[in-house]
Amino acid sequence: MHIPSLGTAASSRTATSPSVKELTEEERKQVEELKKSDREVRSHEQAHKAAAGRFATGGPQFDYQRGPDGKRYAVGGHVNIDVSPERSPEATLRKMQQIQRASLAPADPSPQDRRVASQAAQEANKARAESVQSKQDEGQPGRLLDVVA
Q: Which domain holds residue 52?
A: 5-137
In a domain, 146, yes or no: no
- Asked whether the predicted pLDDT for residue 97 surpasses 90, the reply is yes
- Indicate the DSSP class of residue 89: H
| Segment 30-54 mean pLDDT | 97
Q: How many structural domains does the chain have?
A: 1
Any domain includes 127? yes
145 inside domain: no
The secondary structure of residue 107, as a DSSP letter, is: S
Higher pLDDT among residues 13 and 121, named by residue: 121
Q: Is the pLDDT of residue 17 over 80?
A: no
Return the number of other C-beta atoms located less than 10 Å from residue 85's C-beta.
Answer: 16
Summarize pLDDT for 104-129 with one digit per residue, the tens.
Answer: 999 999 999 999 999 999 999 999 99
If you write DSSP's letter for every residue of 14-37 in order, what string do you get? Answer: ----S-GGG--HHHHHHHHHHHHH
pLDDT tens track for 129-138? 998 888 888 7
Please check whether residue 70 lies inside any domain of the structure. Answer: yes
Q: 139 — alpha (psi -120 to 50), left (phi > 0) or beta?
A: left
